[in-house]
């Protein structure tokens, strides 16, 4: 099995979809979170399926549990969560997984 951890979160913002505030949140999230050294392959997505109410997604990869833990504890990540995520995100679902096959 591969040891790469894939961290994904889908979310809906309090801002109107595709508004300037939403675009700024996504751009800031990408710029800040991808600057953390252990983050690899950071991607920003938007939802196209009517099967759920989430609007956007972030996805990133980590080479190890230690790299993932370093990300979670990194001051840039904790500041983003406190100053932006908790303020601007309405709902979210997070999943952390590894490739099985």
Locate the domains of the chain by residue range.
5-98
What integer pLDDT is reported at residue 1 of this predicted model?
Answer: 61
> Candidates 3.90.1150.10, 3.30.70.100, 3.40.50.300, 3.10.450.30; correct CATH number of 5-98?
3.30.70.100
| Residue 22 CA from chain centroid, whole number | 14
Predicted TM-score of the model (pTM): 0.93
Whether residue 82 has pLDDT greater than 80: yes
Closest by Cα among 65, 75, 90 to 32: 75
Segment 15-20 mean pLDDT: 94
What integer pLDDT is reported at residue 2 of this predicted model?
Answer: 74
Residue 101's pLDDT band, with cuts at 50, 70 and 90, is confident
User: What average pLDDT does the structure give for the chain?
Assistant: 96
Segment 29-55 mean pLDDT: 96
């Amino acid at each position: 099995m591969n040891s790469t951890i894939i961290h994904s979160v889908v979310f809906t913002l309090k801002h109107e979809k595709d508004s300037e505030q939403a675009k700024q949140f996504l751009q800031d999230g990408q710029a800040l979170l991808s600057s953390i050294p252990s983050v690899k392959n950071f991607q920003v997505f938007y939802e196209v399926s009517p099967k759920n109410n989430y609007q956007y997604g972030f996805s990133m990869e980590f080479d190890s549990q230690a790299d993932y833990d370093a990300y979670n504890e990194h001051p840039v990540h904790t500041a983003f969560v406190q100053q932006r995520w908790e303020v601007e995100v309405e709902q979210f679902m997070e999943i952390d997984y590894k490739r099985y096959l």
